[in-house]
């Protein structure tokens, strides 16, 4: 299962549900052998996620674990954990994975699952963060890299980047600018964690 070229870099499995532009930034960065992380596999919960095509295009293995294939959430959670286990990752990165992870995954990979969220947490958690920020009328929003815990977007914050809201913004234009910030923050955060790890002290997470 090790990379045939003997790639010794820190191993990341990326989970994604959507178009995968964040994943693409990570794949582009990891194509440089000097980047300290490798993407060993990409997993999705839907078989038409464009993220899967992006991975396949550069020869990164993929797997799909659809919720609808399992009788219970717990069965799905176990199956997802087993699928991830095949790739022996050091870290998991959720790049727009629109499912809440279950206890099997959270227990097995405790403290080693990173999520990216398109708002400045703890403001605007949940699946409609960009719409909610716009609706509230904030002038600055942004993106957050955080560790995943049992809550929804509640885990310790690793890194954040601000994005100004323009008067002319709609959800789509604002999300696109947030994703630009998100892509570079994700690449930088993964590089730093791959090189130096991440220390958690209560609510505070930092890269030493
Ligand atoms: C990102 O904004 C992520 O935070 C959100 O979904 C978006 C993923 O975009 N949950 P893409 O699929 O990588 O383009």
Query: pLDDT tens digits for 19-78?
Result: 999 999 999 999 999 999 999 999 999 999 999 999 999 999 999 999 999 999 999 999
For residue 4, pLDDT over 90 is answered with: no
* Active-site annotation, residues: 117
**Residue 129 Cα to ligand 1 middle (Å):** 11
pLDDT of residue 127: 95
For residue 2, pLDDT over 90 is answered with: no
What value does the mean pLDDT of the chain take? Answer: 96
Reported as a pLDDT band with limits 50, 70 and 90, residue 190 is: very high
Asked if residue 42 lies in contact with residue 14, where contact means CB atoms within 8 angstroms, the answer is yes
Q: What are phi and psi of 93, to 5 degrees?
A: -120, 120
Two structure tokens written together for 161: 């980047």
DSSP string, 93-141: EESS--S---HHHHHHTTT-EEEEESS-TTSS-STTHHHHHHHHT-SEE
Instruction: Of 78, 76, 52, give the one whose Cα is nearest residue 66.
Output: 76
pLDDT of residue 126: 96
Which atom of ligand 1 has the smallest separation from the CA of 98? 10
Determine which residue's CA is closest to atom 7 belonging to ligand 1.
Answer: 96
pLDDT of residue 1: 42
Q: What is the mean pLDDT of residues 149-178?
A: 97
For residue 202, pLDDT over 70 is answered with: yes
Predicted TM-score of the model (pTM):
0.96
153 pocket-lining for ligand 1 (C-beta < 6 Å) = no
For residue 3, pLDDT over 70 is answered with: no
Residue 167: burial class (beta carbons within 10 Å; 0-12, 13-18, 19+): exposed
């Amino acid at each position: 299962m090790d990379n045939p070229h003997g790639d010794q870099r820190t191993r990341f499995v990326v989970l994604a549900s959507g178009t995968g532009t964040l994943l693409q930034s990570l794949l582009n960065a990891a194509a440089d052998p000097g980047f300290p992380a490798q993407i060993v596999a990409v997993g999705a919960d839907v078989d038409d996620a464009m993220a899967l095509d992006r991975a396949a295009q550069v020869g990164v293995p993929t797997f799909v674990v659809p919720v609808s294939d399992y009788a219970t959430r717990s069965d799905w959670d176990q199956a997802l954990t087993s699928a991830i286990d095949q790739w022996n990752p050091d870290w998991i990165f959720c790049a727009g994975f629109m499912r809440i992870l279950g206890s099997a995954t959270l227990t097995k990979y405790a403290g080693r699952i990173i999520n990216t969220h398109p708002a400045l947490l703890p403001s605007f958690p949940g699946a409609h963060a960009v719409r909610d920020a716009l609706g509230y009328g904030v002038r600055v929003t942004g993106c957050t890299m955080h560790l995943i815990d049992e809550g929804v977007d509640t885990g310790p914050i690793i890194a954040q980047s601000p994005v100004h809201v323009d008067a002319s913004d709609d959800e789509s234009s604002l999300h696109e600018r947030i994703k630009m910030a998100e892509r570079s923050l994700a690449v930088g955060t993964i590089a730093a964690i791959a090189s130096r790890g991440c220390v958690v002290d209560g609510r505070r997470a930092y890269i030493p």
